[in-house]
Structure 1
Amino acid sequence: MHNSTSGTRRSRRLVRTVVATASAGLAVAGTFAVVAPAGAATPAASGPHVKRLCAAPDKPGVMACMALQRTDITQKHAMAADATPSGFGPSDLTSAYNLPTGGGAGQTIAIVDAQDDPNAASDMAAYRSQYGLPACGDGCFSKVAQDGSTNYPTADSGWAGEISLDLDMVSAIAPKAHIILVEATSANTDDLGASVNEAVKLGAGFVSNSYGGSEDSSDTSTDTKYYDHPGTVITASAGDGGYGAEYPAASPDVTAVGGTSLTKDSSSRGWSESVWNTSSTEGTGSGCSAYETKPSWQTDSGCSKRTIADVSAVADPATGVAVYDTYQSGGWDVYGGTSASSPIIASVYALAGTPSSGSNPASFPYANTGALNDVTSGSNGTCDTSYLCTAGTGYDGPTGLGTPNGTAAFTG
């Protein structure tokens, strides 16, 4: 499905009644509507809301971050007596995905975002302190502009919230990893792509991209310029607008990451997941690329080109993650979107070990599907080929092959 319909889809704002949302302090029932960012149309709805931190792109060649903030949960400031955050924390995520704790030593994970977050380091430090994670001392964290300098771009509140989400998710999954934040000058595809190249140049073996935009006929050349890094893990968010292909998730050079709703339960796993789908305009992306060639390791028969996604992780704001952010917000918040799932998956790859030289890590999960939690319920919209928008046994578009069950599916 060509993504020219995505802008129309994102421009609508629908309401959903949420009943019995997840645990970890998120149990809230109410009416959810998307709040448009500043300058966008205001939805005709009231009540508890989810806010998109970045406006949808208004022209080709521009990307938007995929972070969604819950605004119906009271923010808890760091110095408040009741500062225990709502949302899933590190122990929840490592439990849900059967991951080792305290991992990441010796690995370098990069986060690529646009604009500057002046509070990135201090906010990440507060998150790590809250959860008893190792302090990020000398050599643990570095922030650079897209040219590798410290001439940071203009600060932006929406992207700053995205940056906090990304850094906190890497901290949660791989707290001993070295983290590089590369800040693109703008949300243009070329600036973000140049930032990916800079991250790899600086030694990152794992690069998370929590942004996306419409597909374009030039995407294959953009792949070559920015995302083709054999032996390096490049992850990309599948999108937050429901069914429809987005770029760079459509690139066969990246691991496309879809989103789930994650809930604690009484099963042997202790958790269950379904496709994240809040409304026809809010949910995980998926689809069949209009331009990208199908990689050899994808064998689904209903899409002759690249299929999105490959794997998935929690993204539903109603079952969202705790984030500490003082530039866009006032402290502790609950965030969702496939902006959460992309850095989670990049960090799981880091726990699994360094990919072999020349490999395409996006192919790794396809060689070990038994080490994933198969998500078999839910859909993110309607489509002509059912599995592209509806979960089922085995591969499906919204959740790919599933969510991590340990690290075995993420090593070559």
Structure 2
Amino acid sequence: MADSFANEPTPLRRSGLRRRRGLALAAVIALGVSIAQTPIAAAADTPVFRPVGAAPAVPNGAVRLTEPQADQPVRLNVELAPRDPAALQAFVTAVSTPDSPQYHQYLQKGQFAAVFGPTRTTIDAVTTALEAQGLNPGAASPDGLSIPVDTTFGNAARALRVGFAGYRLTDGRTTYANTNAPELPSSVAGVVTGILGLNDFTKPVAQHTPGTRTVAAPKGSVQPHAAQPNVATPSFCSDIKNLLSSNGLTDTQDYWEPSTLSASYAYNTAPLYNQYGNTGSGVSVGLFELENYSPDDIAAYESCFGLRTSVSATKVDGGPTLPPDMNTQVGLESALDIQTVAGLAPGVGIKVYQGPDNANSTQYLDVYRRIVNDDAVQVISTSWGLCETNAQAWDPALLSTEANLFAMAAAQGQTVVAASGDSGSTGCYPVGPDNSSLVVDDPAAQPNVTAVGGTRMTLPSGGSSVVQSTWNTPGEQPGASGGGVSQYQKLSGAGNFQSGVQGAGYSNVCAAAAGTTCRQVPDVSALADPGTGYLTAFGEDTNSQYWTIIGGTSGAAPLWAAIMALTDASGSCAGNGAVGMVNPALYQHANLLTDVTAGNNILDGSGYTGNLYSAGSGYDLTTGLGTPKAPALVEALCSAKAASVGSSFTPVTPARVLDTRSAGPIGAGGTLKLPVTGANGVPSSGVTAVVLNVTATESTDGGFLTLYPDGQPRPASSNLNFVAGQTIPNLVTIPVGSDGAVDIYNRFGTVQVIADIFGYFTNDGTGYRFHTSTPQRLLDTRNGQGVTSGQATPVGTGGVFALPLTDTAGPGNTGPLAGAAALMLNVTATESTDGGFLTVYPSNVARPASSNLNYVAGQTIPNAVVTPVNGSAIDFYNRFGTVQIIADLFGYYSAN
């Protein structure tokens, strides 16, 4: 019975709704409560330790040196799992897929932590565990996914039970690394995905080629051009054009400048400027960089093309210190990125996020974390990366940390584009040990990133149509379009935007299970060949400003970023929302890209002797779907709308369907089968998914629960994470198996599980559709909001608080949420004087024997709640003590 929850340990904080793939259920739950949280009880005096992650592999050829000095400072980031990784990715799929009812219903700025980030109690538990080991952790990042720790190697070794060693790598760098996996108390180890900063093997590199041809323009010889009207394509200054011509360099043959690039049939962005006045105004592009840039280079470029594009810099972790330099090429990548975006989308705002020179993995990821948490740009472009096998081997926490950050970006509606690499099908070339193996680059291979490959593009003399082929330059400085099959990233279910798409040469190198495929790279492509590359202002001395022609997929990525910015700025997207994680839409509109069918990406000199990969008709592993055709692609991406059909929801009177405390807990690695159809108001057939409020309690170890359809393979994800001894609830939407059952898997220790059912989904159209609403507070008993005369607050033992449903967000806005069948609420209990629980239910029905959230005295805990509406009020029942209640409305279900 529900009453047995009265004296449970402190639950984890909960404020997010779980949404499974393909279901029209909102997951936009924000917590608007600014009150202190009570940490969980301290772990045992002699905790059991468990490894977190793995030790890094030592790069081939590394020479072992002495370990770092014990008093030498080191910065660590303790990375935490989202509270429900499966629900996070399901939400990303829902808001990114054009045929989803939730298409473009992104999280609002600052909502991620409350909806998908680790709970406050989880963060506090990990912080307390670190402190107990003698470390001094800082405040968690805004997303809640990372806890910084500034310490020394000696303290880190003792606290995390690791050894350290120094190494000299074959590239001459002196590095360090942990010699074994770090260990944490088992009570929190299950919620920690890895610890960054224990080694510095990884070194991301820019994916550009060296400047191939450079000319010097005497300072003062170039006359500034007036800024062009917003409806005009940027115009190339004759001074530089003539200078290039005198050096035998011709536009469209040896290089492409913005006006010819935008006017070419290949991209054809010019009509966006000239016919629609779209220059990207109102949209911001964020550039990921690990170097400084020269403002003089940017000024020279803007002066030549008559631009006034706003460019600003944000330094992360202190930022870079080395000045731009032609000889070392510091600043070349930044110049290329800034100028490519400005030239093709002159009205955008460009925000350059700069990490330290020679950044380690901690600093590298801190830059992405800052960009995503700032949420100040709609498009993110990165031309830096490393081959994914080295990333995984040298820093086992890197790929998973990136994945969480890019999922957060997608959930917020940010588009991320990344260069696919310049080493063809052998992504680790020239850095060993797998420099002749088929490998793709990271972060391009991340599923929530759009990977951009490279092409060669020329305009034949006297011709009107460009000729495109796969970029592949042999010689002393070879380069080719990065592409292939990921060994680590997989796509499955509704989130598999590459379903039915298989490039020639594909193989199951990621060991994908049935119904799952390995991520293929690239998705799209653009100009990258330095032989027909980008004209860039880079480098100066006392007398001259230099202009150089460069290439690489690091030019192709910002080109796509510019086109995505133009897309977001278009009139259609203004009404339907930013394109966000654009991969599903791109694969649906492959006909609006130019299919590149010639060439291969077998890199000259790599040592690879096979024949993979070649371009061909349709998707391929050299140029992906092809190059963009604007404005048709822009219009198609913006005109896609959320589907009006799909799963519909039917609420039921809440009922308890599982309580293992009467029969015994689920053991470590154990699975419990739970039939959910054919009872409690749920039909025996036609049900696609059910909504359960699942609570874990009396756990003997830190771990997680995974819910999945019975009869299907268990996914590598979790629905509910907990530490030892906690009680934590979570509202879960889970598909049912063909037999009407779901399975519940427990990873570590033993745990008691309670489940209450609140509704079900069908595809027959008989249920209700979800409608989002602007978040609004309906009730706060602390200050009287929603409290009518004569109602007692706080709510006492056995008390029932009736909340009238005065409508401000429901269908028709004509009274008590007319037509609403159920409400989506975030309910918070706080200032409780005793352990107990809340039950939320319609005011005109008997109180159900279930609970929505459980708490101990003094705790503040929120949870997502779906409650049916059968009248003009809903009731909040409190079992023990007194408690203050806060309720926020985020949406409702109705037939309209």
TM-score w.r.t. the length of structure 1 is: 0.77
Q: Is 1:126 aligned to residue 306 of structure 2?
A: no
How far is 1:331 from its partner? 1.7
Q: Is 1:193 aligned to residue 365 of structure 2?
A: yes
Which of 161, 164, 167 is the matching residue for 2:335?
Answer: 164
> Residue type matched to 2:306 in 1?
G
Structure 1 residues 222 and 60, CA, compared in 2 at 3 Å: closer, same or farther? Answer: farther
- The 2-side partners of 1:314 and 1:357 are apart by 25
- The 1-side partners of 2:469 and 2:405 are apart by 32
Q: Are the counterparts in 1 of residues 479 and 552 from structure 2 also a CA contact under 8 Å?
A: no
Q: Are the counterparts in 1 of residues 287 and 337 from structure 2 also a CA contact under 8 Å?
A: yes
Q: Is 1:144 aligned to residue 314 of structure 2?
A: yes
Q: Are the counterparts in 1 of residues 453 and 524 from structure 2 also a CA contact under 8 Å?
A: yes
1:4-403 matches, cutoff 5 A: 60-80=201-221, 83-84=240-241, 85=244, 87-96=255-264, 97-99=267-269, 100-101=272-273, 103-117=279-293, 119=294, 121-133=295-307, 135-136=308-309, 140-146=310-316, 152-156=319-323, 157=325, 158-186=329-357, 187-200=359-372, 201-215=374-388, 216-217=391-392, 218=396, 219-228=398-407, 229-230=409-410, 231-244=413-426, 245-265=440-460, 270-279=465-474, 281-294=478-491, 296-299=496-499, 300-301=501-502, 302-303=506-507, 304-326=517-539, 330-353=545-568, 356=577, 360-381=581-602, 389-403=613-627
Provide the residue aligned with 2:124 in structure 1.
none
> Residue type matched to 1:284 in 2?
S
Provide the residue aligned with 1:54 in structure 2.
none
> Residue type matched to 1:405 in 2?
K
> Residue type matched to 1:239 in 2?
G
* CA deviation string 1:340-386 (max 9, x = no partner): 00000011011111684795222221111111111110101188997
- The 2-side partners of 1:233 and 1:408 are apart by 19
Structure 1 residues 305 and 75, CA, compared in 2 at 3 Å: closer, same or farther? Answer: farther
* CA deviation string 1:51-70 (max 9, x = no partner): xxxxxxxx752200012233
> Residue type matched to 1:366 in 2?
Y
Paired residue secondary structure (1:249) = coil
- The 1-side partners of 2:463 and 2:629 are apart by 13
* CA deviation string 1:199-230 (max 9, x = no partner): 23151110100111021334541233432211
How far is 1:115 from its partner? 2.3
- The 2-side partners of 1:337 and 1:312 are apart by 11
> Residue type matched to 2:599 in 1?
G
Q: Are the counterparts in 1 of residues 470 and 598 from structure 2 also a CA contact under 8 Å?
A: yes
Paired residue secondary structure (1:83) = helix
Q: Are the counterparts in 2 of residues 239 and 338 from structure 1 also a CA contact under 8 Å?
A: yes
- The 1-side partners of 2:341 and 2:538 are apart by 15
* CA deviation string 1:269-326 (max 9, x = no partner): 5211100001284111111111011350113332441111000110000001110112
- The 1-side partners of 2:547 and 2:351 are apart by 23
Provide the aligned C-alpha RMSD in A.
3.2
- The 1-side partners of 2:465 and 2:565 are apart by 24
Paired residue secondary structure (2:489) = strand
How far is 1:77 from its partner? 4.4
Paired residue secondary structure (2:331) = helix
Q: Are the counterparts in 2 of residues 89 and 131 from structure 1 also a CA contact under 8 Å?
A: no
Unaligned runs of 5+ in 1: 9-38, 42-58
The structure richer in strand per residue is: 2
Q: Are the counterparts in 2 of residues 66 and 212 from structure 1 also a CA contact under 8 Å?
A: yes
Percent of aligned pairs with the same amino acid: 29
Unaligned runs of 5+ in 2: 1-56, 62-169, 173-199, 223-238, 250-254, 427-439, 508-516, 641-896
- The 2-side partners of 1:234 and 1:371 are apart by 20
- The 2-side partners of 1:298 and 1:356 are apart by 23
Structure 1 residues 77 and 380, CA, compared in 2 at 3 Å: closer, same or farther? Answer: farther
How far is 1:266 from its partner? 6.6
> Residue type matched to 2:480 in 1?
G
Count matched residues.
Answer: 352
> Residue type matched to 2:285 in 1?
I
- The 2-side partners of 1:214 and 1:128 are apart by 34
Provide the residue aligned with 1:48 in structure 2.
none
- The 2-side partners of 1:125 and 1:160 are apart by 14
Q: Are the counterparts in 2 of residues 184 and 195 from structure 1 also a CA contact under 8 Å?
A: yes
The structure richer in helix per residue is: 1
Structure 1 residues 78 and 332, CA, compared in 2 at 3 Å: closer, same or farther? Answer: farther
Paired residue secondary structure (1:321) = strand
How far is 1:170 from its partner? 0.4
> Residue type matched to 2:302 in 1?
R
How far is 1:92 from its partner? 1.7
- The 2-side partners of 1:286 and 1:62 are apart by 20
> Residue type matched to 2:498 in 1?
Q
TM-score w.r.t. the length of structure 2 is: 0.37
Paired residue secondary structure (1:364) = helix
- The 2-side partners of 1:141 and 1:274 are apart by 33
* CA deviation string 1:372-401 (max 9, x = no partner): 111110101188997x62111110111110
Structure 1 residues 203 and 407, CA, compared in 2 at 3 Å: closer, same or farther? Answer: farther
Paired residue secondary structure (1:340) = helix
Q: Are the counterparts in 1 of residues 212 and 530 from structure 2 also a CA contact under 8 Å?
A: no
Paired residue secondary structure (1:172) = helix
Structure 1 residues 357 and 342, CA, compared in 2 at 3 Å: closer, same or farther? Answer: closer
Structure 1 residues 122 and 308, CA, compared in 2 at 3 Å: closer, same or farther? Answer: same
Q: Are the counterparts in 2 of residues 143 and 180 from structure 1 also a CA contact under 8 Å?
A: yes
> Residue type matched to 2:400 in 1?
S
How far is 1:409 from its partner? 3.5
Q: Are the counterparts in 1 of residues 203 and 361 from structure 2 also a CA contact under 8 Å?
A: yes
- The 2-side partners of 1:79 and 1:178 are apart by 28
Structure 1 residues 253 and 60, CA, compared in 2 at 3 Å: closer, same or farther? Answer: farther
- The 2-side partners of 1:78 and 1:319 are apart by 26
How far is 1:172 from its partner? 1.1
Q: Are the counterparts in 2 of residues 371 and 407 from structure 1 also a CA contact under 8 Å?
A: no
Provide the residue aligned with 1:16 in structure 2.
none
